[in-house]
Structure 1
Amino acid sequence: MKMHFCIPVSQQRPDALGGRYLLYSVYLDGFLFCRVRYSQLHRWNEQLKRVFGNCLPPFPPKYYLAMTVSMADERRNQLEQYLQNVTADPNVLKSDVFTDFLKWVQLKTFDIATQTTSLDIFLPAGGRLQVEILTSDTTERVLEVVSHKIGLCRELLGYFSLFLIQFCEEGKLSVVKKLVDFELLYVSLQSCGMDNCKVGLRKWYMDPSLDSLLMDCRVALDLLYTQAIEDIEKEWAKPTETQKRELEALQREENQAKFLKLSREVWHYGYMQLDPCTCDYPEPGCRAVLAVGNNEISCCVTLPNGQTQDIAFQLSRVKCWQVTFLGTLLDTDGPQRTLHQDLELRFQYSEEGHWQWFVMYSKQAFLLSSCLKKMISEKMEKSAAENPEMQIEVPEQSKMKKHHILQNRHKDSHSFLLRKSKIKATENDCVFGNIKEEDL
């Protein structure tokens, strides 16, 4: 599925010859990912075409005359769509030509040199692991280093991921974002612009029944067990009083397998807990606490009269969703790094036979969207495993084409939109009449 790429603004910059060029600010999951020129993206696309041929999405054409404001804005939108579409192909994502360019442009954007550094990886329930990495290592590479150091079976690596986690007051945690495989972990940590933000290891699947696939690996079992304890202590998972007593007894016995088996019956076990946010249901302006998992969005809504109401939105009844940026970009050339101040996620839902839009205003809208995509992915994999006769084998050279067909069936499942009228452009952002293609 598509990545949450967006290009909200571009800035004019002077070059060494006295001309001017446009620099595009590329955001991933609401955080500044890199700044890049059209010419750099164009060369990158040509390299990708030499590897993948004509299966790539269309790249915005060159302009050989001066660009108008509307032409420049159209190009910015086209580049945004290109980045979203090109990352929908897993074969492209895993290629060296894809990752090498993005590694280079991230390091260049934040002026970080490649060197060895120590990094603390926070484990569930207060554990911590120190690893030696390169500042140019991708998240995928760092996860491999972590798994090797703790002895996690390599075949189970895909069930875990690294996250940016903010450590708040009174021991509270806030999961900021799931780190994407190809982004440079050290760079993302340094550039996120958030206080007390650390890298944490957590399981990354939304179906609690998948626990059973990890039980034979001692390290995986330990990770699931300690995360379950942490989630219960922080009241992200909510056992009944009877379940709580039974779990405490199993914890004293250190019976991890039975503890996890009982945990799967606990309300919100294995869910991703989000920070309090605002929603428009059942009334506009209601406060809500969201927990996502097991094919649903679970909401504990506080009504204006102070009463609470539990509402569950089933994934099977969600038609599509989109994330929209509502806020204002300030000082895009300075320390401002994120778009997450004012985000909404709206989804179309079948309520009593009628399609209706529901809106969540949350700084973790991108994380919520990632969880929804993960649940859809798991559901598709489960359906394919249960119905092998529906899978059609294709020759190797046709696999990318088959993947694009599958993606197109779900292309409307999510999207990212900007309310441009609320974006504060930087100085000279909208003056394009004197810029020509050779300057880009």
Structure 2
Amino acid sequence: MKMHFCIPVSQQRPDALGGRYVLYSVYLDGFLFCRVRYSQLHRWDEQLRRVFGKCLPPFPPKYYLAMTTSMADERRNQLEQYLQNLSMDPSVLRSDVFTDFLKQLQLSTFNLTAKKTSLDIFLPGGKRINIEILTSDTAERVLEVVSHRIGLCPELLGYFGLFLIQFHKEGQLSVLKKMADFELPYVSLQSSEEVNCKVGLRKWYMDPSLDFMLLDCRVAVDLLYLQAIQDMEKEWAKPTQAQRKKLEALQKEDNQTKFLELSREVQHYGCLQLDPCTCDYPEPGCVAIVSVGNYEISCHITLPGDQTQDVIFQMNKVKCWQVTFLGTLLDMDGPQQTLNQNLELRFQFNKDSQWQWFVIYTKQ
């Protein structure tokens, strides 16, 4: 899974000797992940190179004279690119030297220590379980604890993930992000600036045909079944009237396998629907309902005159994509605040033999 690191801001802080140092705010998928000094990252890079050698991306060099504003911006951009490139290497991501360093950074950034605690995990359909963990447990470890608790076959762990989910009134919810394996769910939950956030378990693949890989595990089928029902209730998946009648009959019979088989024929089944957001297609400022999955991005667009237009972007026609953090950050010596936090996703697609850009603005 690709993830997006960015360092949109840095702050000057006083040190114990009366000097100044720079503290970088690192965001992961649009949410504050940690704050870190250049010297800490430099020592970490040296540790990584002792393990992985020269295959690592280049690390920004030291400056032995005072940095100008342009030099400071260049270093911030270089550190951002370093983290982004580093996270693309699966062997680095799985290493203890990578995970242990980031665990300590997350804890220290938010003034937390490693200790026992409890955490509610919300399952599809609204049920929740309470598990005992350490505040320093990664999402990968918490997922293992959850799977053992509910009896999910260990070999199927890779098909599920932990998500930061925001609950709204009348049972509505927003899936804000999938947690990275090395992320600390307890810390991310405590540090989130969004209200009413919880940690939820969901399948995270977006290819409905992969459901077949899970049908031999009773618990996995239960999870898929409950998530399918939930997604249809929230109108993320959109069955026709005829499909809905058949699905309701199968639900009354509790025929989960047949229900899932028919669900795979439903429009947007297995997709993740974003909250209403804005896009620049076919003109700037249009409101869009975006569903992502099954190798496509589907957009229901409302034009300024209230006309609507449905556009589907097939992923095999997407050339490249870029994510940019657009949050307004207050750069100050005191506590940092994030305002109007948004991400810009732009991708280039082929239409009528020409390459065009499509841009979405969203928090998710």
User: With structure 2 as the length reference, what TM-score do the two structures score?
Assistant: 0.97
Kindly indicate whether the alpha-carbon contact (under 8 Å) linking 1:2 and 1:85 is maintained by their aligned counterparts in 2: no
* Inter-partner Cα distance in structure 2 for 1:91 and 1:80: 20
**CA–CA separation in structure 2 for the residues paired with 1:108 and 1:67:** 27
Q: Deviations over 1:152-180 (max 9, x none)?
A: 00110000000000001111100111111
* Shift in CA distance, 112/337, structure 1 to aligned 2, threshold 3 Å: farther
Bigger Cα displacement from structure 2, 273-282 vs 88-97? 273-282
The alpha-carbon deviation at position 335 of structure 1 amounts to: 5.8
Query: Residue 237 of structure 2 corresponds to which residue in structure 1?
Result: 237
Please tell me whether the aligned partners of residues 118 and 133 of structure 1 are also in contact (alpha carbons under 8 angstroms).
Answer: yes
Q: Which residue of 2 aligns with 1:165?
A: 165
What SS class does the counterpart of residue 210 from structure 1 fall into?
helix
Cα offsets for 1:333-373 (capped at 9, x unmatched)? 426357x6233211111001000111112222xxxxxxxxx
Residue number in structure 1 paired with 2:223: 223
Deviation at 1:284, TM superposition (A): 2.4
Question: How far off is 1:247 after superposition?
Answer: 0.3
Q: State the one-letter code of the partner of 1:350.
A: N
Give 2:267's aligned residue: 267
Matched residue, 1:360: 360
How far does the alpha carbon of each residue in 1:293-351 deviate from its partner, in whole angstroms, 9 at most, with x for none?
Answer: 1010011111222232221111010001112233421366426357x623321111100
Query: Residue 113 of structure 2 aligns to a residue in which SS?
Result: coil
> What letter matches 1:69 in structure 2?
T
SS in 2 for 1:124: coil
AA of the residue aligned to 1:336:
Q
Residue of structure 2 in register with 1:129 after alignment: 129
SS in 2 for 1:141: helix
Confirm or deny: 8 A CA contact 1:193 1:336 kept in the other structure.
Answer: no
Q: Is 1:307–2:276 an aligned residue pair?
A: no
SS at match of 1:125: coil
* SS of aligned partner of 1:221: helix
Distance 1:336-1:87 versus aligned 2 partners, 3 A rule:
same
Deviation at 1:120, TM superposition (A): 0.6
Q: Which moved more, 1:64-73 or 1:78-87?
A: 64-73
1:246 aligns with 2:240: no
Q: Using the alignment, how far apart are the partners of 1:233 and 1:335 within structure 2?
A: 39
Give 2:319's aligned amino acid: K
Deviations 1:56-93 (Å, cap 9, x if unpaired)? 11111111222222212111111111111111110000
Q: Match of 2:326?
A: 326
Structure 1 CA distance for aligned equivalents of residues 338 and 197 of structure 2: 14
Report if aligned partners of 1:191, 1:337 keep a CA contact under 8 Å in 2.
Answer: no
Is 1:336 matched with 2:337?
Answer: yes
For 1:231 and 1:272, the matched residues in 2 are separated by 9
**Map of 1:177 onto structure 2:** 177
- 1:46 equivalent in structure 2: 46
CA distance in structure 2 between the partners assigned to 1:201 and 1:265 by the alignment? 24
1:64 match: 64
1:212 counterpart letter in structure 2? F
Question: Contact between 2:24 and 2:37, CA under 8 Å: does it hold in 1?
Answer: yes
1:21-56, Cα deviation, whole Å (9 max, x unpaired): 111111111111111111111110110011111111
- 1:294 matched to 2:303? The reply is no
Return closer, same or farther for 1:108/1:44 CA change in 2, 3 Å cut-off: same
- Bigger fraction of residues in helix: 1
Partner of 1:394: none
Q: Which amino acid aligns with 1:85?
A: N
Spell out the pairing of 1:183-222 with structure 2 (5 A cutoff). Answer: 183-222=183-222
Indicate the residue corresponding to 1:144 in structure 2: 144
Q: TM-score, normalised by structure 1?
A: 0.80
**Would you say the 8 A contact 1:118–1:132 is kept in 2?**
yes
CA-CA distance at 1:2 after TM superposition: 5.0
Give SS of 2:329's match. Answer: coil
8 Å CA contact 2:27–2:34 kept in 1: the answer is yes
Q: 8 Å contact 1:274–1:289 — kept in the other structure?
A: yes
Alpha-carbon distance between aligned partners in 2 of 1:305 and 1:60, rounded to the nearest angstrom? 50
Structure 2 residue identity aligned to 1:310: D
**Paired positions, count:** 363
Quick check: which one's strand share is greater? 2
Name the SS of the counterpart of 2:102 in structure 1.
Answer: helix
Deviation string 1:238-278 (CA, Å, 9 cap, x unpaired) is 10010000000000111000000000000000001100011
CA distance in 2, matches of 1:223, 1:164: 17
Contact conserved, 2:8 with 2:325, CA < 8 A, in 1?
Answer: no
Q: How far apart are 1:14 and its partner, in Å?
A: 1.1
d(CA) in 2 for partners of 1:306 and 1:71?
48
Specify the code of the residue in structure 2 equivalent to 1:215: L
Which ranges of structure 1 fall in alignment gaps of 5 or more residues?
365-440
**Structure with larger RCO (C-alpha < 8 A, sep 6+):** 1
Aligned counterparts of 1:2 and 1:170: Cα–Cα separation in 2 = 33
